[in-house]
Structures are given as C-alpha cells and as structure tokens.
Chains A and B, each alone.
Chain A
Amino acid sequence: MIHGLTLTYSLLPFIGIAVALSTINIRGMVPVFCAVFLIMTALIRFIRDI
C-alpha cells in the first residue's frame, strides 16, 4: 500500500493548484485536476510496470 501511495506523492500539489485556481474565480478546476491526478497516477503505475 505504501508503494502505491508513494506514486501519488509527487501529484499531490495538483489538488492544491486546483483549489488555488478556484480561489481566483476559475470555477470547476477541482474536478478537472482530480481527474488529471487520477490519470497521471494510473500512467505512472503503467509506466513503472513496463
């Protein structure tokens, strides 16, 4: 489990960036960045498996 969570460590700032963008009235950024977070995590996992 810890190895899986380590994959997401470098992507955590995405969530913070999404909140920061929402703060400056660019609405709807949180779901978009969460999707990017999920896709990037899956990609990193896939690349590491190859």
Chain B
Amino acid sequence: MILNIVLVSVAGGILCLDRVVLQAMISRPIVAAPVIGLLLGEPFTGLMVGAFIELFWIDRIPIGAYIPPNDTIAAILITASSIESAHNLSHFSQGLVVLAVLLLLPLGILARQMDVWLCRMNEKLADKALAAAARGDTRAIARLHLVAIVRAYLFPACFIMMTLRSVLPWSPGPTLDSPIG
C-alpha cells in the first residue's frame, strides 16, 4: 500500500509536469489515468475513469490567463484510490469507482488553486530572473528556471501523496468476505 502510494505520487508528479514543461499531452486524463491504472495492475479502470474525466472538463481549456481545474490530478487520484480500495477490500466493485469520482472530483478544483498559487510564485521568480538579467548573471537565470520546474513537480506529487494518504488506509483492512463483529 505505502509503496503504491509513493509510486503513484512519483508518477503523478511526472505526469502533472507535462502540463507545464513538456506538453506532450501525457497529462490529459485519458492518458494519465490508464498509465496509473497500468502501474497498479488495472489499466481498464484507469481508461474508464480517464475517459469520464476527459469529457467532464472538456470545455475548460487553458486559454490566456484562465487556469482550468487540474483534471490530471483528479484522474490520478480517482484511479489510484478506486484501485487501491479494491485491493484493500479484496473485491473490485464499480461502485468504488463512482464513490471515488464523487469524493475526489472536487479536488481537481482545489488543485487549480494550487496551480494559481504556483503561477503567482513563478511571477516572483520572473522578477528575480529580470534582476539577474540586469546584472548579467545567466547562471542565476538558469537556476531560477530549475527552481520553477522542481516546484511544478514537487507540489502535485506532494498533493497526490497527502490526499491518497488521507483517503486510503496504510494497512489492508477487513475484506468484504470477512465476518463483521
């Protein structure tokens, strides 16, 4: 369980980085969710979740200054939590996917606030880079670029890890087949 949460966080950070740096479209939910599903051994669940999230926020496009809900994080969290819950209960149910969608879809909007905050922090870095450019310090400019990239990786990765940590238990719980009480 712990290893899977760490694995999903590391992979999720890389996938979310694509929203800012690579832009190879691997951050789209239809790609990101099956990748996470594949890592956890259930690519079909990931594909279903990814297709739904892709459609759900298809009209939110990052044009101009508009920052859309973070559908990548939402897709990753929903896929990982539904698959890990199924592993935890030793029983996969489609209801778990619906429950994960209902509970974790709003976190995409919360993650947008994180994106807004990251953008504001990047503005400060840009001011520093301008000051460094005025001094002719090219090494400082390169370092500030790297700082922005590392932040763009670490913040979503930590967000995913903390959310999965709070949603999923660390140790396997009772199975659906086990007697109650």
Contact = CB atoms under 8 A, between A and B. Distances in A.
Interface in B89-133: 93-99, 101-102
A30 B128 CA distance: 46
A16 interface: yes
A9 B95 contact: yes
Contacts of B96: 2, 5
Interface residues of A, number: 18
Chain A facing B: main interface SS: helix
Given A12-B52, A13-B52, A19 B58 contact: yes
A48 interface: no
A5 B99 contact: yes
B24 interface: no
Interface range on chain B: under 10, 10 to 19, 20 to 34, or 35 or more?
Answer: 10 to 19
Given A12-B52, A16-B51, A16-B52, A6 B59 contact: no
Most buried by A among B55, B97, B101: B55
A10 B94 CA distance: 9
A2 B91 CA distance: 12
Contacts of B54: 16
Contact of A6 (B51, B57, B58, B94): B94
Interface of B: 51-52, 54-59, 93-99, 101-102
Q: Which 9 A-B pairs have the closest CB atoms?
A: A16-B55, A5-B95, A9-B94, A2-B95, A6-B95, A5-B98, A23-B59, A6-B94, A9-B98
Given A5-B94, A5-B99, A12-B101, 10 more contacts: A1-B99, A5-B95, A6-B98, A9-B95, A15-B52, A15-B55, A16-B54, A19-B56, A20-B55, A23-B59
